[in-house]
Each structure stands twice: as structure tokens, then as C-alpha cells.
Structure 1
Amino acid sequence: MTHFPARSLLFALCCGLTLTACNDDRIHNICGNHPTLCQDLVDDGWCRYERTDVIRARYHLQEEGTDRRKYDVMRSLERYLKCAERSTNIEYKTAREQKSPRVEGMLAAGDQLARLDAATRNSQDPYLLLWHWTNNTNELARQQFMALEGQSVLEEPELQLALGGIHAKSEPQKAIALMHHALSLYREGDAVNSRILTSLSTLYMGQKQYGLAYLWGKVSESFQNTPEVSAKRFGLYHSLSKADQEAWDSQAATLVEQLKSGTYRP
């Protein structure tokens, strides 16, 4: 009987290793068949996951060529550059005098990002409208994004989150409704963006609805590796009775299960 836990652990480890190997094999195949998608990004162990995301996004862009795929490449390049900057302690924009494979990879990634940024400035894709508004302070892009409010093209959690962020200061109740709607769009197996949950907690805090702020702070803790906003950080434990906390905790557990199963409805 004592062999089963060890066997289960071994099985879990093998599954994890197999999954990693499969991911590596897929990237290896992409790079083998399409070397230009990979050769400018140094594979030295640093930023491995970010590098993989860039390669995969480039491959999908090559296969489909849509504006959404361009956005995916831009986001993956942005994450790769942030990781590379941390690993080298320099910014890619000031790295042209440095000569190393990692710096060369940074420069190549930065150049592609700049090209895609310029090439998509007139795109009507909502994700790219958001990109150009937030990264380039493009007011026209913001107006065009806002004009899509209420249309099916914005019926995605990330876009509802962005829309709620726009309304947060001037119309907090509307922002709250948008955040709840964003959560209702998740289906079973989807990765829930914890920023929606922390935004809800912050919005309720601003409305002095401390019980609801505590509730959504508590829910957010189940979807963050390192909680950025939580009921504890708000100090809300001190403003609620033990009985109230227990009631909110029970409701939070229910909400977590609903979000994970894709059945949450406001």
C-alpha cells in the first residue's frame, strides 16, 4: 500500500516532463521547418518561455496573417523584451553598442515590434486599438475602441476589462457592471484574469461597499500566484465582524467554483 503515493508522484512527474518535452518538440519542429522564425532569438536558457511564445506567435502569424495574430506577436515580443531587459540589466533601445547574442536578440525583437507597431496603426481590430491607445497615446484609437461598446466584437473578458477601466473614474457603477459581465464570459477551463477580480475589489472599496470589496479580494486570492490585491491588504478584516467574514468567505468559495466551471452569472 505504501507504494501507491510514490507511484502517483512518479506518474505526475512523468506527465509534467512529457508535457514539457512535447512543447519543446513542437517548438523544435517549428524552428527546424521555419528557421527564420527562431534564429534571431538566442536560446541560452534565459527567457525560455517568452522566447517560445514569440516563436509560436510568429508561426501563427505566418500561417494566418490576420491583425489579431499581429497583435499576439506584438504582445509576445513585448513580454520577451521585458524579460530580456531584466536578464541583461539594460534596455534594448540603448543596447546597440553592446555586442552579445542576447543583446542581438533583443535588438531583433525590438525592431520587429517597431515594424508591427507602424504597420498596424490603422487597424480596426479592438486589441490593436487598445494597443495604440495605451502604448502610443493615440486618441483616435481610443475613440474608435469606445465606439465599439455594446457590439459583439468586444464580448471578450480582456476587452470588457479595458472598457471597465475607461469608465472606472467617471462611472464606477458602470465599470462594476462591465467587470461582472467580463467574468460571465469565461467558460470552463479558461484562465481567469485576476485583474478583473482585483479591479472589482478596488471599485467596491471606492464605493465604500466594504463587504463586497472583501468578497472580491478574497476571490482574487484563488487566481493569483502572488496576490497583488487581497482582502488582507485592504485591511478589511478589521472592518468586518467574524460572522460577516465567514459569510463572505463561504460566498467567495462558491464564486471561485463558478468561475472555474464557467458558470458565473451576475
Structure 2
Amino acid sequence: MNITRLSILAIAVASLSGCFEANKNTDQLCSSNPELRCEKLNINDGQCRIPRTDLIWHRFEVLKNPSDVNVIEEYRLVSVYRKCLELASQIQPLDQTNVKERRFNALMHTGEEQERIVEHLRSSKSPETLYFLWSQTGDETARREFLQLEGTPKLNTADMQYALATFYTSRDQDKTINLLNNALELSRQGQINTEIFKTLASTHYRLNNKERAYIWAMVAKSFNVPIASEQEIQLLYGFSESHYAKLEKIADNIEDAVKSGSFKRSMIPGQIK
């Protein structure tokens, strides 16, 4: 056996060991913390192992720190696990013994958990919770209360400026751009919501600000956000090669600034010739 094959074998063994260790740790966590309700999550099923494990460990985090933000993240992880279970329930298991029934029970549990989390959060007036209740459940009271916080320090965070922008996207596009720029300026290094780039690109394009739209499309691309193909971009913008090069240089500078948490809207020139 040559060195390459030995290396591959060693990596494979290490990966399997890590996998077994992770399972063992999760089993231990469940045994030590019955309040995690692992028995309702069909923990011995090979399907949906990763989203289930993510949910279990985050439930443990919620036990330690039951903040609104953590509870909202629990809802998201429950939803991810639920989607996986919906697909798994369509798979015909080789061993029919209670497999489908356990998957169905776990699926029902996730639905109950979603309802429980929503009811738990209804007593909170934090901006994160108000936005969650509005965007996820259509709660109009939560929407009004969230919008009443506009202009207050409570919404002066990257996440909340983006959340506010989602309300104005179809109502006031200039304001949407301003809020998205605020969100980027408030964003910390390594904590970037890449949806901001897509929304900036599409909003600028609707306003016929094609240079800025292209700049933000290129920034989105640099963050591996799917955008139009090269051919579609040529049809959408139709700039000269020299103008593309100038815009891409601006996009590169913005990308670096966003990654370092130092973005300022003034980095985009008022006139781009």
C-alpha cells in the first residue's frame, strides 16, 4: 500500500471516528439532559441525522441561555428538521418495524414544537421577536409594533435594519437602499447577511441605477451568492469592457471593506463615468 492510499485510509478512519464520537457525545448529552426531549426526535434513525443533531445541541444552548434570539434559532432548526422528516417519510424503509411510525411521530412533534415556540414568544416585545412573529406567522399586531420602533436605538443593528428594509422593498426603494447600506455599515466582520447584496443589486436595477446594480451583483458573486450568468449580465448591462473593469475595481474594494467590517456607503462614487 503506497503513502497516498495510507493517507486516504487514515483520513477515512479519522472521519468515521469523529462521526462515532459526535454520536456518542449527543447520546450522552441526551442521557444527561432529559429536558431536551430527545426521545421524541427519533434519534436512532439514520435519516435526518445532521439536522436532528443540530437541533439537539441548540436545545441545550437554549437551556443555558433562553434568549429570544436563541429561541428563534431553535424554531428555525425545528423547521429544517421538519422539512427533512417530510422527505424521509416518503422513503420506503427496508426494515418496516415501526420506522414509518417513529418518523411520523417525530414529524408531529416538530409541528407541536413550532406552535410551542410561537406561543412562548408572543409575550416578548423584543424587536427580533416582533419581526419573527410578523414574518413567520403573519401577526399584524407584531408588524405594527415592530414598525413603531423605527428610528429608535432598538432597531439600530445590522439584522434589524435589514428586517426593516424588507418592509420597504415594495413601498419605498430609495429608503430600502438606505436601510440596506445602514445594515452593511453596522455589520461586524464575519457576520454578513449576503441577502443584502442581492437586494441592493435588484433594487438599484429597478431604479435604473445600472452601475450600482452591477457593482452589488459583483459583490454578491464574490460571496458565492448565485447571480445571472455572464451572458445574462451582458444583456442586462451592456457596458464597455473598460467600464466593466472600472466597476469591478469598485466592487473589489467594497468586498474587502465588507469582509473587514469597515464598509462605508461613501465608497461608491456619486457619479461613475
Bigger radius of gyration? 2
SS of match in other structure, 2:40: coil
**Corresponding residue for 1:159?**
160
Residue 94 of structure 1: aligned partner: none
Partner of 1:54: 55
Any residues of structure 2 matched to 1:90-101 within 5 Å, and which?
99-101=100-102
Q: 1:176 to 1:117 in 2, by over 3 A?
A: same
Q: Please say if 1:70 is aligned against 2:74.
A: no
Change (3 A) 1:261 1:18: farther
Give distance in 2, aligned partners of 1:148 and 1:9. Answer: 56
**What is the distance in 2 between the residues matched to 1:108 and 1:71?**
17
Identify the residue that residue 253 of structure 1 maps to in structure 2.
252
Cα distance in 1 for partners of 2:156, 2:11 equals: 37
Take 1:171 and 1:222, find their aligned partners in 2: how far apart are those partners?
28
| 2:80 maps to 1:79 | yes
Q: 1:106 to 1:213 in 2, by over 3 A?
A: same
Inter-CA distance 15–199: structure 2 relative to 1 (3 Å threshold): farther
Partner Cα distance (2:28, 2:216) in 1: 43
Identify if the C-alpha distance between structure 1 residues 51 and 238 changes in structure 2 by more than 3 Å, giving closer, same or farther: same
Whichever residue aligns with residue 198 of structure 1, its letter is K
What per-residue deviation string (whole Å, max 9, x for no partner) do you get for residues 40-75 of structure 1?
A: 222433333322232122112222333333222112
8 A Cα contact 1:130 1:145, kept in partner: yes
Shift of 1:210: 0.7
Give 1:152's aligned amino acid: P
Query: Does the C-alpha gap of structure 1 residues 46 and 182 become closer, same or farther in structure 2, counting only changes over 3 Å?
Result: farther
Q: Aligned in 2, Cα 1:237/1:205: closer, same or farther, shift over 3 Å?
A: closer
Contact kept? 1:220, 1:230, Cα under 8 Å = no
CA RMSD after TM alignment: 3.3
Q: Structure 2: 5+ residue runs without aligned partners? A: 92-98, 266-273
Counting aligned pairs with the same residue, the percent is: 27
- For 2:13 and 2:261, the matched residues in 1 are separated by 29
TM-score for both structures, normalised by structure 2: 0.78
Structure 1's 264 and 25: CA in aligned 2 closer, same or farther, altered over 3 A?
farther
After superposition, where does 1:92-131 map in structure 2 within 5 Å?
99-131=100-132
Does 2:256 correspond to 1:265?
Answer: no
CA drift at 1:13: 8.9
Cα distance, 1:16–1:245 mapped onto 2, change above 3 Å:
farther
How many equivalent residue pairs? Answer: 253
Q: Distance in 1 between matches of 2:132 and 2:51?
A: 19
Does residue 173 of structure 2 align to residue 172 of structure 1?
yes
| Cα pair distance change 1:208/1:237, threshold 3 Å | closer
Distance of aligned partners of 1:230 and 1:150 in 2 relative to their CA distance in 1, 3 Å threshold: farther
2:271 alignment counterpart: none
Moved more, 105-114 or 21-30: 21-30
Structure 1 residue 104: Cα displacement:
1.8
Q: Equivalents in 1 of 2:256, 2:170: separation in Å?
A: 30
Aligned residue identity for 1:243: S
On the 8 A contact 1:129/1:142 being kept in 2, the answer is yes
Q: Which amino acid aligns with 1:102?
A: R
What TM-score do the two structures reach when normalised by structure 1?
Answer: 0.80
For 2:19 and 2:162, the matched residues in 1 are separated by: 32
Residue aligning to 1:202: 202
The alpha-carbon distance between structure 1 residues 124 and 99, as it changes in their structure 2 partners (threshold 3 A), is same
| Counterparts in 2 of 1:170 and 1:119: CA distance versus 1, 3 Å | same
